[in-house]
Chain A
Amino acid sequence: MAETFTLEIVTPTGVVLSEEVEEVYAPGEEGEFGVLKGHTELIGNLTIGRVHYKSRGTSGEIAITGGYAEVWPDRVNLLVDTALKADEIDLNEAKRELDEAERLLEGLSLDDPDYKKTRDTREFARAKVEVAGRR
């Protein structure tokens, strides 16, 4: 059995998750990265997406918006603006948000001031749909 380390997901409104896990996959700014125990010390920017973790046969997923990952050999802290577990997401609501954002995005040009915001909304909606849909 793989060795475990502590995964903590912290948002401005509280600690969302604190658990012993074996593996974590997080969406880094330059692509997804995985962490096992004993990883090199690292600080990385996170983008919107899914955090995936495994521990003792069970696994979990959490949808996050951007933030930071702080990786120590024996623990991982994720500092993010928002983090939602599968049971906190309304799948239909998230699907509706995703459709709405995609529709809006088609009408926006790349240099529209709202473009980035709408794209972020879409990405987060997509992450929520993926997390909730897998339940």
Chain B
Amino acid sequence: MNYLARRLLTFPLILLGVSLLVFFSIRMIPGDAITAMLGTEAGLLTPVQRQALAAYFGIDQPVVVQYGRWLAGLLQGDLGISVTYGKPVLTVILERFPLTLELALLAMVIALGIGVPAGVLAATNNERSTDVVVRILAMLGQSTPGFVVGLVIIYVLSVYFGFVPAMGSFTPLWTDPLANLGQLIFPAVTLGFAFAASVTRISRSAMLDVLSDDYIRTARAKGVPGRSVVWHHALPNALIPVVTLSGVEFGYLLGGAVIVEQIFALPGLGRLTLDAIGQRDYALVQGCVLFVAFNFLIVNLLVDLAYAALDPRIRLGAR
């Protein structure tokens, strides 16, 4: 608990650093919010009107003052108002987040469900044909860009099965689970494909390492059958790198998967951030980045807790 408390105490500091970085860097991009918002009509504004709008959004002040105001709002849980949507930033983000979270979780389940067994299978058949096949598939999975897989899936579904996944709007899991799954399963497979490939490769190499460890020989010497040696004695020791990789990948996925969201026309966090940058919606960009950073911190913490759960030497402290 002590450890957990100390970790949580570092969160505000890291988030503060992230916010500083994003706040000032986005303002270095040329262009301003009002032009972006009104498009060609911005040219019709009189300087006075423009000034009034800038004052309304608070972007007439020096950047440092803006940052101070924003930070003060943040401490009260107020991330500001999105210029594009005319709603509080947090509300906009939370509307998009369930889709992103569900997509990331599904992708991870697919990746681990395929990747770990495939990696174990390859490792236990090292240098035999099964291993070679798995390695080729993993190489393919890692080197094929996500949009290719996504496009192929859409093509096959629509041309051969006449099935077009619902696009544009998102059906939450709790309103219609089937429609929700029908909508997300293909993007999840697209994301999970490459993810599974990396998991396979890392599980394979970790298992190969562990299988040559002394305690595996000990297990065999005491008559443990091969299957149990692999799953009971070796796998728990090989999971640490898999957890590390999964944590990093999952963190990225929680930031939204821009390309897959684009292909499947899903309103996720990735496109939200991208659009916000295009619109110079400063408050929304800051909100998104901060939210993603926060997610990363949480995921990293979970990864460290998972290490402790997996390895008693971490949990109890090695001598």
Q: Do A and B bind each other?
A: no
**B interface, CB within 8 angstroms of A:** none
Binding site for B on A (CB under 8 A): none
